[in-house]
Amino acid sequence: MTAARPAPETVAAPAADPVRPRDAGPAAVEPSRKRPRGVPWFLTGGLVAALLVLIPVAAGIGAYPIPVGDVLGSVAHRIGLGGGALDRVPESVLWDVRFPRIVLALLIGASLGCSGALMQGVFGNPLAEPGVIGVSSGAAVGAVAAIALGLDFIGSWTIPAVAFVTGLATVLIVYAMSRSGGRTEVVTLILTGIALNAFTGALIGLFLFFADSAAVNQITFWQLGSLAQATWPKVLAVLPCAVAGLAVAPLYARRLDLLALGERPARHLGVDVERLRIVLVLVIALLTAAAVSVSGIIGFVGLVVPHLLRMAAGPGHRFLIPGSALGGAAVLLAADLAARTIAQPAELPLGVLTALLGSPFFLWLLRRTRRKQGGWA
């Protein structure tokens, strides 16, 4: 009887079902109830519809209100589909102030949402977010140093450029320090990121200590996160990084699903796990550093949005990655609209608002998940 029993390798071989290797990954991560097949399509349509509603509404609401019909007419006129040009003042408000801010919110929200989904897939943990690997704090050090030292070698581009470079450099340092024997362990990467986050926090405190009062005010405003300084040149600065990262990320959806099985099964199914991690960590760094360098630190978008979509449609990355980009864009646009209208004529810091709304909501989600499913696998 014992001799007839199959060997353990035969029983546990991940390639026993070669027809559906992609579906096995998500199921291993979240053994929850079956969801209707149309949920991802329904959510995608809902997110697109929300953006189509939010964009003209956000363009029309503000200290200088513009009717939504006039907004749509001006857009139609600009793209040659009829409509008509507005008067000089509303036209300038719409195209020089509101639309750069809206486009920047869409790009940054999509970048943060997508990078959050990638981060959670790479680490196999739905509580991971881009700040774990130090990109946000590294960019913050660059921006704070540029402000405190009065750097101005490329004019108004100095702070975003320095923040972008230091954000990417921090990620590369974290990754290099966490490699051993040609491999990178996830736990080592996280612990290295935590240590470097603490170090960059100390550097920020040091720069604040030596900065004058004007620099301290500017540093504080930057750290709180805002899109108040949005311009078309800043949109063009973020656009190449956002488009490149958002275009590359979905190409790795299937391999992330296989990685959810575990490193060893993923390797058996043909996934180069180390190369996958390197590429995706660089994509995450590119998206997050570009976003943070322009807007300052905006938290919880990359954490909450993928978490919500995973709960609604399951953990399959073929939907989760583009869905998180759409959801992040919608959430950040709505948050920015609230930040500049709730306390008119003042404007709330965007990063503060997302943290105030995101943290209690996320705590409620954690309690709900723990009660219904016993926590995350």
User: For position 369, what pLDDT does the model report?
Assistant: 66
pLDDT band at residue 36, thresholds of 50, 70 and 90?
low
Q: pLDDT at position 60, please?
A: 92
Query: Domain boundaries in the chain?
Result: 107-373
Please give the average per-residue pLDDT across 272-285, as a whole number: 88
pLDDT band at 13 (very low <50, low <70, confident <90, very high): very low
Instruction: Check residue 31 and give its pLDDT.
Output: 40
Q: Which residue has the higher pLDDT, 22 or 135?
A: 135
Q: What is the 3-state secondary structure (H, E, C) of 283-352?
A: HHHHHHHHHHHHHCCCCCHHHHHHHHHHHHHCCCHHHHHHHHHHHHHHHHHHHHHHHHHCCCCCCCCHHH
- Fold classification of 107-373 is ABC transporter involved in vitamin B12 uptake, BtuC (1.10.3470)
Tell me what pLDDT residue 72 has. 92
In this predicted structure, the answer to whether residue 2 has a pLDDT above a threshold of 60 is no
pLDDT at 328: 95
CA distances from 61 to 4, 108, 261, 337 (A): 74, 21, 47, 8
Sequence-ordered alpha helix ranges (H) in the chain:
8-12, 21-29, 39-60, 68-78, 88-92, 99-123, 135-148, 158-178, 186-210, 213-224, 232-248, 253-259, 263-268, 273-295, 301-313, 317-341, 350-373
pLDDT of 117 strictly over 90? yes
Res 86: pLDDT: 84
User: What number of other Cβ atoms are within 10 A of residue 166's Cβ?
Assistant: 24
User: Do residues 71 and 94 lie in contact, with contact meaning Cβ atoms separated by under 8 Å?
Assistant: yes
**How does the average pLDDT of the chain come out, rounded?**
83
Q: What is the pLDDT of residues 305-343, one digit of tens each?
A: 998 898 888 889 999 999 999 999 999 999 999 999 988
> Which is more confident, 89 or 131?
89
pLDDT bracket for residue 113 (50, 70, 90): very high
The pLDDT, as a whole number, for residue 373 is 57
Percent of the chain past pLDDT 70, that is, above it, reads: 87
